């Protein structure tokens, strides 16, 4: 599903609410239409999964792994990662890791 006007995630939630159980998305929002230069790409799978989880749906998808995969493949392909949820999720994981490290250092000093 293309995310040209930023409405893909709300459209997915509406579709799932109406009974649709399969939607098309792309990790990191990679891809798009080569026939429409300048158009935005596909909806990011990370954004879709985060929205579905937030709406109470179970997807069976591990968001930690999905966000890391989106960041990795975007870096390998040298393409921007357009997933807002994926980037925010990874930042949250980094903050949590930093906090655990700082707490561990504090305990070691005591």
Mark whether 18 is an active-site residue.
Answer: no
Burial status of residue 89 (CB atoms within 10 A of its CB: 0-12, 13-18, 19 or more)? buried
Instruction: Tell me 15's DSSP state.
Output: H
CA distance 72 to 55: 27
Candidates 33, 39, 55, 91; catalytic one: 33
Q: Which residues are catalytic?
A: 33
């Amino acid at each position: 599903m293309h995310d040209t006007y930023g409405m893909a995630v709300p459209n997915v939630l509406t579709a799932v609410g109406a009974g649709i159980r399969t939607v098309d998305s792309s990790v990191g929002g990679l891809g798009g239409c080569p026939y429409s230069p300048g158009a935005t790409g596909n909806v990011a799978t990370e954004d879709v999964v985060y929205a579905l989880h937030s709406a109470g749906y179970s997807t069976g998808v591990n968001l930690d792994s999905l966000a890391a995969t989106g960041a990795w493949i975007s870096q390998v392909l040298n393409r921007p990662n357009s997933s807002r949820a994926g980037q925010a999720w990874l930042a949250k994981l980094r903050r949590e890791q930093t906090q655990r490290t700082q707490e561990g250092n504090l305990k070691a000093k005591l």
